[in-house]
Structure 1
């Protein structure tokens, strides 16, 4: 009866049973993993520690003043003796001597006051007299005037080369064909017309017949409609 949840009845003052049998008190829940690292004795015997990083020491420049003074006191005078002394006693400058403030200290004025400046007092008179309102209105008027001027500049059409040439056209150069200088004043050697009037009449008649003739050059036969 206690193993079938369908016929199991609820007990007074107790939670509903799930009808499962639990193992004994010596049962270990979970997944058993076989230890392969040796446990606590192995950890104590072989403790893997991280070596601390050593601080990066800056290689300071040589203190040639001190080395030159020492070389002179030792009685060295030549360049070779000085170089040998530099190799024997390599004296470096100290860190505080090479600091930025020692090399170039900041220039501070004599009347400088350190700390944060005090907050300025509230201008009550300007608030009572509506001065900020007047300043704002003046700024708005100036802004409106600037926008109006800019709009006028945009509305004005910019003249192009075409419009300028329409107003002021370029004068047309008269083309003059080049002639040989020794043939400019030479008259015609052949004239098929009896006189000048006959020549002009013939040319005027040919000009009147241009619309009625065929061909790319109006010199062919007349077109018959």
Structure 2
């Protein structure tokens, strides 16, 4: 009877030899063997050593009311949990090259030996110089896009935008009418008429001769002469060319056109 009780209490406590024994500690760390307890959250099979805490230790210590009366504590490099790494200055190879050339060393081997025996470092920028370069913004400056002002409801009810548009249109029409009035005739201005335009001198332009066969240009003669003389023929053609201006049609053979201003 006692044996059955032990088997019921420790069903997973078999030793390597197959006998009943105590629970192994590794069984409490295996989540597959752990069973959920009634009314309790599920436990994880992770055992933490005693005295362990998560997070970063705070090196700042409160000195109590006496330290508070003296002033607020300030963070220093010794109180920080990490140490600030000092920046090592880099070698200035441009200065080394200038020094080597001024010393008369031109070959690669001579310059390598010169760099091995000489050392020039660049100047490190301190924190104060970096802080001075930072841009100081005014205290009233705000980032972002300004909010669009709300449309006044009274202007909408009074049709203010419609009246504004109509007034602008009236101004444009008045300006257009003034320009048209300026372009109209003035009593003191003299305008050219069609007769005056016809009397103006026209530069003579010799028209290009039409193409003809060589035998007609050299030997052929007209069989009928309707003009009494060459002078009368020239005067007739001159009158015809001057009269073409006032006639309609492509060749100036149509009716006369009305006068235009």
Determine if the TM-score, normalized by the shorter chain, exceeds 0.5: no
TM-score, normalised to structure 2, is 0.22
TM-score, normalised to structure 1, is 0.24
